[in-house]
Amino acid sequence: MAPRGFPYDDLQSFLSALEAAGELRRVTVPVDPTLEISEVVTRTVRAGGPALLFERPTRGEMPVAINLFATEKRMAMALGVDSLDEIGDRIGALIKPELPVGWSGIREGIGKALQLKSLPPKKVKTAPSQEVVLKGDEVDLGLLPGLQVWPDDGGVFHNFGLTHTKHPETGKRNLGLYRLQQHSKNTLGMHWQIHKDSTAHHAVAERRGERLPVAVAIGCDPVVCYAASAPLPSDIDEYLFAGFLRGERVEMVDCLTVPLQVPAHAQVVLEGYLDPGERAPEGPFGDHTGFYTPVEPFPVLHIETMTMRKKPVYHSIITSKPPQEDHGLGKATERIFLPLLRMLIPDIVDYDMPAAGVFHNCVIVSIRKRYPKHAQKIMNAIWGAHLMSLTKLIVVVDEDCDVHDYAEVAFRAFGNVDYDRDLLLTQGPVDHLDHASYQQFWGGKAGIDATRKLPSEGYSRGWPEAMAMSSEVVALVDKRWKEYGI
């Protein structure tokens, strides 16, 4: 059952729903966006605390909304469901059973789901996001209470700006979530990584010797915020996906100075361009890996126009080693994309991306094992599956193992493995932010086969039977439990 007020028109509507559910606290005293907000939020996240609205940041001219997605409960509220699995179940019901297995099947599956529930964006002529317009010298990023999260960060960063670009040749839109370092009152560093679609758009523009128009929307409704982070195939429009999740079309408005559209109900919109060939040092930045990423050259966004609501709310997120707010976003992706991963690899029963592995360093997978080296086949299939290819460690267990019970998974991985035979080592692409790989962008990977071993795999000893109490004794003890006085 969708929460009251869903789909939310804007960020304010979502904040009101959170507050009504006891999931939001207002901080009414002055708090510094340089480091202090970060420490407050980090303590709140680790205590399982609420979303926060800092009403009086000491820098910038608008309140700061943060920690909106840290728990599965708030993430489910954001997407209008009681459980994140509901969305995956909806997608699974729409796309099976006749679609082909494989990556083409995933593309067709998402496309079919969106076609059956087609809710494309709706263009409007006027928008709350354009109630205030600043152009040229009026543009001032200092109006925004951007955060410095960690002491050695390279300055102020805007961590939840939804970045819009178009492919210069095909016109295909991309919506992505990238960190933005504030260089000056009207320039930002664009930290989009090598595997991202907007990076490809920029590469084409540079090859053609053209500027790339860019629009950044800050403070969108929660479904659009999630869609920007979702690992969709490049030919699937994020706003069509958002409409599917919302059950209602997303209202979009034309930008004033660039040929792009942005959410009409955003809080702040930054319009500008990237010059071909221009780079500036970006970073360091304390990232979700728990380590500072180094200074690297990245494109520079020149902002020509800044539009906003009359009373905007600034939305941001804290990055640090887990647990942190991105847990809810990562868990939503895990649950929503399970039926799509099963299309690619039908033998998968379930999977878990542990927060401690920052959602791409480790994947735990359960399978219905049917033949020799089945687990190794699954490992290689995952390493060939879109952004799952960045996974560094894959642990494969049998279908009777709960992949979300880390103690049980560890028991299987520690006890069911002969590391001379059941460990697969290989090399492949790793995340741009990975600091452990000896070369940037690629490194070593491991797969652990923690399944029961078959005679046909060379295991000739006869796999032992796991211990379990008889059901009769269990029922007897249940019945007599109070008698024992324990």
Buried b (16+ CB within 10 A) or exposed e, 383-414: bebbebebbbebbbbbeebebeeeeebeebbe
- 3-class state of residue 54 by DSSP: strand
Strand order across the 122-124 sheet: 122-124, 251-254, 261-263
- Round to whole Å and give the CA distance between 84 and 72: 8
Name the phi and psi angles at 218, rounded to 5. -115, 135
Give the amino acid at 356: A
- Round to whole Å and give the CA distance between 325 and 313: 18
DSSP 134-182: EEGGG--GGGS--BB-STTSSS-EE--EEEEEE-TTT--EEEEE-EEEE
Identify whether the C-beta of residue 260 lies closer than 8 Å to the C-beta of residue 198.
no
Identify whether the C-beta of residue 20 lies closer than 8 Å to the C-beta of residue 6.
no
Q: How many CB atoms lie within 10 A of CB 271?
A: 24
Active site residues: 287
Q: Which two tokens stand for residue 106?
A: 């995933």
- Round to whole Å and give the CA distance between 10 and 23: 17
